Amino acid sequence: MNKNEVHNRIEQVGIIPSVRVSSADQAMFAAEAVYRGGIPIVEVALTVPGAIDVIVHLVKNAPEMLVGAGSVLDVVTARLCLQAGAKFLTSDGIDLDVVKYGVQENIVVFPGALTPTDVIAAWKAGSDFVKIVPCGHVGGDSYIKALKAMFPSVPLIAAGGVNQKTAYGFILAGATALGIGKDLISREAINLRQEERIRTLADRFLGFVNDARSQRAAH
């Protein structure tokens, strides 16, 4: 899958499940559950023990799944992720060296940002999307709406505070996609191996995205 195809897949699906769990085994269970729930994308946070091995495993055994790396904080780590087969790189803040590396390697990259200054810096560096995180703590969907008014051509991903109550509003406000962690992949569902619960939530979040997009298109 080339860069354009990865970019288009993220835009089309509109949800990036963030897997932040306490073991490699849990990460693989979570990734497979969201995939079976209809979301063919997963972001494996590098805070997961053995995260690189998880990426390798998923890339090898689930070729139709778009696997990316999260919490990428330096170029050395970014290189390891790409060698493992990751198709996108993301983080919870801006490291311009990582963004530039992603651009150089022709890989989709989207750093975390919060302020308008951050958005400008990330976009100028060549980011494919800009992830607004943690947007739930700074005004939620109204903040996304304000940023879209300032930067209408910048595709924003809302993350940090996205849940069943807020997902629809974030898309309606102009977010291109949603980054969702514990509200899709809960610790309890992981510990109890409740795949059906994760699959049901995945389907529900996809519904929120599609409904909000339809509403947005109608206006």
Of 202, 200, 209, nearest to 158 by C-alpha is: 209
pLDDT at 219: 80
Q: What is the pLDDT of residues 13-24, one digit of tens each?
A: 999 999 999 999
How far is residue 74's CA from residue 199's CA, in Å, rounded to a whole number?
33
Q: What is the pLDDT of residues 131-168, one digit of tens each?
A: 999 999 899 999 999 999 999 999 999 999 999 999 99
Please give the mean pLDDT across all residues of the chain.
97
Q: Where are the domains of the chain?
A: 3-212
**pTM score of the predicted model:** 0.96
Q: Calculate the alpha carbon distances from 71 to 81, 91, 105, 122 in Å.
A: 11, 4, 18, 16
Superfamily (CATH H level) for 3-212: Aldolase class I (3.20.20.70)
